[in-house]
Amino acid sequence: MTVDPTPTASHFIDGAYVEDQDGAPIDIVYSATGETLGRVHSATPAIVERALASASAAQAAWAAMTGMERGRILRRAADIIRDRNRDLSILETYDTGKPLQETLVADATSGADALEYFGGMAATLTGEYIPQPNGDFAYTIRQPLGLCVGIGAWNYPTQIACWKAAPALACGNTMVFKPSETTPLCALKVAEILTEAGAPPGVFNVVQGRGDVGASLVDDARVAKVSLTGSVPTGRKIYAAAAAGMKHVTMELGGKSPLIVFDDADLDNAVSGAILGNFYSTGQVCSNGTRVFVQTGIKQRFLDRLCERLSHARIGDPLDESTSFGPMASERQLDIVQEYIRTGLEEGARLAYGGKRLNRPGFYIEPTVFADVTDDMTIAREEIFGPVLSLLDFEDEEEVLERANATEFGLAGGVFTNDLTRAHRVVARLEAGTCYINTYNLAPVEAPFGGVKASGVGRENSKEAIAHYSEVKTVHVAMNGVEAPF
């Protein structure tokens, strides 16, 4: 073990690690073995108060720094992350169970990208000059919102912390971040590295805990904005609580996205897209295209090729770099996935591949494919958040579009076809925040990411994120006398 996965302490507040053993213990369980690596303690009300007070006190001075100065710190943090990519990737693997093969390229690196991108943008966040008659004018100032709360899911703990911290801090906000109780480790490292890079104490704080701790953060009157990555039910609760305080929100929630394969598609590319969109990170990706609609003409060939390709998945120790498919992140999530597989079978879907828990320690389940799935089946309607692909077939474009959009979710959607005009026509009509043509599940920080309908509010990444972490103040200036009616 080259990386010690046990954290220095549970929380990171005011530029330093903080412990308070009065909080309820949260075990750090390595999902590849089921062993408990250590424990953190949930934040007590006193810890939550310390974090909020620190972030609140730090905000004015952080906002008063120039964008150049703030950006330099974020970019320095990006460089440190890249220098330590391997260790941070191993930590991400301990936190989530995702294969090192993935974490080496997808997690800390994406976090560094976000810090570099928004660090570079910080100095460009300027206002506008708006000319008015007779030499009068108005101008705008882009201002931070203030104290922001970030709440994370467990599938991408480093990336989620950075995707929220980077735009928030670039705009001059400070943040209290609560990682998922399932993955408490990585956000602490992000806080440590930001501090090392020069972020003043209080600018980025991490507190541990479950939903109750998250709710206490959301409810605090000092908090101006809440950004959640999580499930739709949690999003509904947090959005409602934030509305009571008229707070800004970003909601990155769940999905049940359609991936549509027309019979003129390049079969191997389409199968690759379905693999990326269902089995990467053991299927624990919000934007996954878990409803794979395949046109009837290539249905059998697609299924055969998919099953053949899945037989090459290397399931095993995620710290072995040749492993391409790891365990579920937690026993609870494994149980949820197994329950959905049982429901799929009960409702008459045909199990075409996998479906079984592996007979080894840890929370492993095989990559699973159901064929002959119909739109009304539970596995076609609900987000499973595990490696379970539902194959549905369709006859024509109009029909598949109607069925693809018949869901409360709207996170992502994809189409595989060699017909250029059809590709653009289809994505134009997909009710989804992020669409893919002949590819799937890319999420570069330069492009907006987020959902429509129940899948979310607002966008992360890209220039769009700036609007969600800042406000515009308008200033009117008279260069002439003031006329009044009396």
Ligand X SMILES: NC(=O)c1ccc[n+]([C@@H]2O[C@H](COP(=O)([O-])OP(=O)(O)OC[C@H]3O[C@@H](n4cnc5c(N)ncnc54)[C@H](O)[C@@H]3O)[C@@H](O)[C@H]2O)c1
Active site residues: 252
Q: In sequence order, what DSSP letters do the residues of 372-402 get, joined into one string?
A: S--TTSHHHHS---SSEEEEEEES-HHHHHH
Which of 178, 256, 291, 299 binds ligand X (CB under 6 A)? It is: 178
| Beta carbon of residue 44, minimum distance to ligand X (angstroms, whole number) | 16
| Beta carbon of residue 209, minimum distance to ligand X (angstroms, whole number) | 7
Q: Are 185 and 136 in contact (CB under 8 A)?
A: no
Q: Is 15 in the site for ligand X (CB under 6 A)?
A: no
Of the pair 237, 453, the CB lying nearest ligand X is at: 237
Q: Is 50 in the site for ligand X (CB under 6 A)?
A: no
| Beta carbon of residue 190, minimum distance to ligand X (angstroms, whole number) | 15
Q: Is 229 in the site for ligand X (CB under 6 A)?
A: yes
Which of 218, 298, 337, 465 binds ligand X (CB under 6 A)? It is: 218
How many whole angstroms separate alpha carbon 214 and alpha carbon 217?
5
Q: Is 180 in the site for ligand X (CB under 6 A)?
A: yes
Which of 237, 360, 381, 463 binds ligand X (CB under 6 A)? It is: 237
Picking from 125, 124, 98, the residue whose alpha carbon sits closest to that of residue 110 is 98
Distances (CA, A) of 184 to 107, 181, 250: 15, 6, 21
Amino acid 91 reads L
Q: Is 340 in the site for ligand X (CB under 6 A)?
A: no
Per CB under 6 A, the segment of 95-103, 135-143, 225-233, 394-402 that binds ligand X is: 225-233
Of the pair 79, 382, the CB lying nearest ligand X is at: 382
| Beta carbon of residue 323, minimum distance to ligand X (angstroms, whole number) | 22
Of the pair 86, 381, the CB lying nearest ligand X is at: 381
Of the pair 154, 370, the CB lying nearest ligand X is at: 154
How many whole angstroms separate alpha carbon 467 and alpha carbon 223?
17
Coil, helix or strand for 44?
coil
Helices and strands per DSSP (H, E), number in the chain? 16, 20
The pair of three-digit structure tokens given for residue 391, joined into one six-digit string: 């194959």
| Beta carbon of residue 350, minimum distance to ligand X (angstroms, whole number) | 26
Q: Is 252 in the site for ligand X (CB under 6 A)?
A: yes
Of the pair 295, 441, the CB lying nearest ligand X is at: 441
Q: Scanning residues 396 to 415, which ones bind ligand X (CB under 6 A)? A: 411
E-strand stretches of 237-290: 248-252, 258-261
E-strand stretches of 58-136: 129-131
| Beta carbon of residue 465, minimum distance to ligand X (angstroms, whole number) | 12
Q: Are 145 and 173 in contact (CB under 8 A)?
A: yes
The answer for 16, left when phi > 0, alpha when psi is -120 to 50, beta otherwise, is beta
Q: Is 457 in the site for ligand X (CB under 6 A)?
A: no
Q: Is 385 in the site for ligand X (CB under 6 A)?
A: yes
Coil, helix or strand for 362?
coil
Element spanning 6, H or E:
none
The answer for 456, left when phi > 0, alpha when psi is -120 to 50, beta otherwise, is left
What are φ and ψ of residue 83, in 5° steps?
Answer: -60, -35
Place of tokens 């309908």: 453
Of the pair 75, 248, the CB lying nearest ligand X is at: 248
Which of 151, 294, 391, 445 binds ligand X (CB under 6 A)? It is: 151
Coil, helix or strand for 45?
helix
Per CB under 6 A, the segment of 79-87, 232-240, 264-272, 399-407 that binds ligand X is: 232-240
Q: Is 433 in the site for ligand X (CB under 6 A)?
A: no
Of the pair 154, 204, the CB lying nearest ligand X is at: 154
Residues that bind ligand X (CB under 6 A): 151-155, 178, 180-181, 210-211, 214-215, 218, 229-231, 234, 237-238, 252-255, 286, 383, 385, 411, 451, 456
